[in-house]
Amino acid sequence: MLTKLAYGVGSAAFGIKDAGFGIFILVFYSQVIGLDAGLVGAALTTALVLDAILDPIVGYWSDNLRSRWGRRHLFMYVSALPVAVCYFLLWRPPVGWDHNALFIYLLVLAILTRFFLTLFETPSAAQAPELTRDYDQRSAILSYRSFFGWAGGNAMTVLMFFFIFPAFATQAIPNGQFNRDSYVVYGYIASAAIFLAIMVSALGTHGRIAQMQQPEARKISLVAMFREVLATLSNRSFFSIFLTGLIANIAVGFGNALSVYFSTYFWGFSPQQIGLITLAIFISALIGAALAPLVTKRLGKRNGAIVIGFAGMAVTPIAILLRLFGVISNGSDPTTFWVVFIQGQVDVALIVCLQALLASMISDLVEQSELKTGRRSEGVFFAANTFIQKITTGAGVMVAAIVLGLAQFPAGADPSQVPASTLTTLGWYYLPVIVGLRLAMTLVTFTYTLSRSSHEENLRKLGAAKG
């Protein structure tokens, strides 16, 4: 249990960064700092593309590193302080700089934050297939990681809406959400939490190093690396899960990027109401994490992901459709608040469950790949998974920025100044994008072929080969 907890806690660092990039950074730089939303989206997307190039390199490197701290832990320890410092600076942009300088500042720090977090997240996540080879236990241990990823980001979001934003409300800025000083405080707390999550996870799994596999000593070149990475990832089921995860996380990134816009402008919720919705996510994330192992046992991972995907597609648009058709009104109506609250919690539970299932499906590909290539390539597979999460966060923010542009959403606007027609347009643009992404994700999942029986057969063949 302690190992599961330590392994899971590590994802809180990624969750905190992901929530900051997905929920706050677009609003902070565009509505508070005044940088054009398109420039914010371009900076984050550019940083993402550059960082994504390093993902397979870090994954492959951690698969083949020989050290007294094993393959993974040296990366984890080295990353802790730099990522915390870079994330802190991200929320303290200089005052008085023009748009071009602010764009470069955001771009550089986004690149550095993503890079140093990759040094931790990919090797840390790649421990899962070695911690257990059991089909059901993999869903269980990865449900811990999914839960803590959501819990970490959610804890900071609750802190912002319940405590920090209200504390920075002034006569000149009645909503502390638009006070830049509140984000400075966030930077202090979030960067410290990222550092602690990384160190707790690294130290908590340190004792398992001796039980993990050491790579063979061999000469590695850049050409050999790319050849082996391509051989590892040339797998039909991997391509299926890669594409599924890609679309799923674009949907999550898109929804997160616009969540503050919908909560603040579309629904007109107060920071306390938003905080209450966010606070309840701890429970819904826990339900989703507990659901993943149950779904694995009853339906199998692929069929479970398909069922959860269709359920999420049906739930997501309910509240907004009701508002657009005049069945419910804005956040001043208690009924509206509870409709949005319940729909949001169900949606989060389904997303957390789906993420755990997808990560567990990736873990099962490790043994299938080992049979084909003769190499353990957990780092490469989980680098592909972190690549999915990264590229989709940036892509989701970029799509959100495009939707805001199409809706002609004003920059730096007070909620009372946004026309109702703009909010309606935003809702009608949002719905087909989110539903279309959820549908595409679920349909692609049908092409994944690895089952419980085929996984157990792979383990049997590996055992026979080594026996």
Per-residue pLDDT of the chain in tens (467 residues, 90 and over written 9): 888 899 999 999 989 998 898 778 888 998 889 888 889 988 988 888 888 778 888 888 888 777 788 788 899 999 999 999 999 999 999 988 988 999 999 999 999 999 999 899 888 988 888 888 888 888 888 899 989 988 898 899 888 888 898 899 888 888 888 899 999 999 999 999 999 999 999 999 988 877 777 666 556 666 666 677 776 667 778 788 888 878 887 887 788 778 878 888 888 888 778 878 888 888 999 999 999 999 999 999 999 999 999 999 999 899 999 989 988 887 678 888 999 999 989 998 998 999 889 888 888 888 888 887 777 777 777 787 777 666 666 677 778 888 888 888 876 667 777 888 888 888 898 999 999 999 999 999 998 888 889 888 888 888 887 66
Report the distance separating Cα 7 and Cα 124, nearest Å. Answer: 7
Please list, in sequence order, all residues whose beta carbon lies within 8 angstroms of the beta carbon of residue 418, skipping any fewer than 6 positions away.
Answer: 265, 409, 410
Backbone angles phi, psi at 73, to 5 degrees: -70, -30
Indicate the pTM of the whole model. 0.76
Q: Which two tokens stand for residue 451?
A: 């089952």
Please choose, from the candidates 402, 411, 400, 270, the residue with its C-alpha nearest in 3D space to the C-alpha of residue 330: 270
Residue with tokens 């040296």: 74
Predicted local confidence at residue 30, as pLDDT? 87
Buried b (16+ CB within 10 A) or exposed e, 48-80: beebbebbbbbbbbbbbbeeeebbbbbbbbebb
Distance CA 429, CA 427 (A): 5
**What pLDDT is recorded for position 393?**
60
58 contacts 383 by C-beta, under 8 angstroms? yes
Q: Are the C-beta atoms of 35 and 103 separated by less than 8 Å? A: yes
Cα–Cα distance for residue pair 412/409, rounded to 1 Å: 10
For 101-132, b/e burial (b = at least 16 CB within 10 A) is: ebbebbbebbbbbbbbbbbbbbbbbbbbbbbb
d(CA 159, CA 322): 30
Q: 106: closest CA among 156, 45, 153?
A: 45
| Angle at 331 (CA atoms; ends 406, 271), nearest 5 degrees | 90
Q: What is the pLDDT of residue 58?
A: 86
**CA dist., res. 231 & res. 361, Å (int):** 19
Predicted confidence at residue 236, as pLDDT, reads 77
